[in-house]
Amino acid sequence: MILSDSYTPEPASLSISCVTYNLHSSTFNATIESLACACAYAKAQGILASSHLYLIDNGPTEQNYHELCAIQSRYNNRFEKITLLTGHGNPGYGGGNNLALTQTSSHYHLVLNPDVLLAENNIWLALDYMSKHLQVGLLAPDAFDEFDHRQYLAKRTPSFFVLLARAFPVGFVRKLMAKKLYNYEYRDIIPAQAPVEIELASGCYMFLRTSTAQQIGGFDSDFFMYFEDFDLSRRMAKISRVVHHPELHIVHYGGGAARKGFLHLRYFFVSYSRFVIKTFI
């Protein structure tokens, strides 16, 4: 398909899934506000027809559910539809997102962490790029933390020693592994001047072509936490392109499994083992 510079895509439908667990109320409110503003901007540009927000309650207490009810009530008129999914326990991050991804009929689907803020033009840029690059199945953003420090969310397939160096950031270990860490985080390419193809994308923000994501079955729910995003990226890359877009800006408050205690480290390395087995064996 050849597209001219004057090509104007048809307005598309977008679904968004936010999996939540022990919500930080003020951060999540900021996330949904930024999402609502980005959707409104895309509609004003004539590129977004409708938005359907799925709020997914994986939380261990009723407080998480009540927070989501409040969001649903507060933002009900900012999206065409808000669906609250609850009562399913905690199937993990990928499994929670699948609850929305497997039932939506949207053109595009955004997997969004509850600690991510979108630039106002984010949805517009993503829809515009995806509509003009039909071979792309997954878009990854350019990310910064709340202190305006760049985050390198695009990754190459990691070795065990690279992950060990990231999990235990001892000075001499980081120095010894500096070149490999540099390569792992695409620091040789990012920041990029134009969209570039990458191997793996972070699950905090994944802009998906819905039909392609559904074709591969969504996330592998065997990953409870961590590496479900890398596994999805790897499988998406087999039938489409995975691309980092330098103008697709987000602020991401999360990350850093090693700073979250032993249980998170355990989840991290168990999931890494599963990822290695699926990728190389």
User: For helices 92-101 and 228-237, what crossing angle results, to 10°?
Assistant: 50
The Cα–Cα gap between 30 and 21 comes to 16
The Cα–Cα gap between 31 and 24 comes to 11
Domains and CATH numbers, the chain: 12-154+190-255 (3.90.550.60)
Secondary structure class of 8 (helix, strand, coil) = coil
* CB burial of residue 77 (10 Å; 0-12, 13-18, 19+): exposed
Structure token pair of residue 102: 């497997």
pLDDT digit string (tens) for the chain, length 281 residues: 444 444 567 899 999 999 999 898 899 999 999 999 999 999 999 999 999 999 999 988 899 999 999 999 999 999 999 999 999 999 999 999 999 999 999 999 999 999 999 999 999 999 999 999 999 999 999 999 999 999 999 999 888 788 777 766 666 667 778 888 899 999 999 999 999 999 999 999 999 999 999 999 999 988 877 889 999 999 999 999 999 999 999 999 965 544 555 566 777 777 877 878 887 76
The Cα–Cα gap between 82 and 84 comes to 7
Secondary structure class of 91 (helix, strand, coil) = coil
Backbone angle region of 87, left / alpha / beta, with phi > 0 → left and psi within -120 to 50 → alpha: left
> Can you tell me which residue has the tokens 């991510």?
116
Q: What is the pTM of this model?
A: 0.91
